[in-house]
Amino acid sequence: MQTAVSSPVGFQEKILNKLLLVCGILSSLWYLSINIIVPIQDPGYNVASQTVSELSAIGSPTRVLWNLLSPFYSLLIIPFGWGIWLSSGRNRKLQVAAVMILIYGFSGFFWPPMHLREDLAAGEGSLTDTIHILFALLTIALMLLIIGFGAAALGRKFRLFSIICIAIFIVFGILSGLDSPAVSANLPTPRLGIWQRVNIGVFLVWIVVFAMMLLRKEGISRSHESFAD
């Protein structure tokens, strides 16, 4: 058994790939952080009853800050998608998950804003509100596809974890859907913010676990490659 000497180029690629995968963990931490930082800038905003989209709504006092900070989430999740692609090898399911994450990441730069609740109730909504809803539905679909293909690509325990995540996602997605029509009517939605944030939180946690699994997989495969018969 001989120890193979890694080339500088191979070592650099290995480090780069790990850094790209770490971006997945950082993306979730960043999104969690801005969901703490931005709401406290508006004393009138209620995390339990209001959606994340209302932080960037037209006329919202937190719109500028949210639009300043939120693009960094995409700037972290996109490299993560590229890292998954580089780690995928011949795993088609991982490749599909990578493409879905890249689409999800780039779509974040084009999210159209909604109007404030009171403006919607007054009939001041516009095409941007309709497109906002379409983007929300697209994002939900992408999240489910990402979880599904990511789960199928890895081991049994991770698949079980992913199934639990999907189940929670569906339950709280239904609860969010039932409360959502009240937003445009400016009616009370005492727990809508909770329902939505549970879903977001589940996805953020899943991304962290997914990234850790891929980092572990990458470490194992690289350690095998470091030895030659």
Q: What is the pLDDT of residue 15?
A: 87
The full length of the chain comes to: 229
3-class state of residue 107 by DSSP = helix
**Beta-carbon neighbour count of residue 18 at 10 Å?**
17
Which single residue is written with the structure tokens 């800038």? 41
Cβ contact 193:46 at 8 Å: yes
Q: What is the pLDDT of residue 229?
A: 35
pLDDT in tens, the chain (229 residues): 444 445 555 667 788 899 999 999 999 999 999 999 999 999 999 999 999 999 999 999 999 999 999 999 999 999 999 999 998 888 999 999 999 999 999 999 999 999 999 999 999 999 999 999 999 999 999 999 999 999 999 989 999 999 999 999 999 999 999 999 999 999 999 999 999 999 999 999 999 999 999 998 876 555 444 433 3
Q: What is the pLDDT of residue 11?
A: 66
CA distance 156 to 42: 44
**Beta-carbon neighbour count of residue 223 at 10 Å?**
9
CA distance 229 to 222: 15
State which amino acid sits at residue 222: R
CA distance 48 to 54: 12
pTM for the complete prediction? Answer: 0.90
First CA to last CA across the chain, in angstroms? 5
Q: What is the pLDDT of residue 143?
A: 97
Q: What is the pLDDT of residue 108?
A: 95
Domain ranges of the chain: 2-228
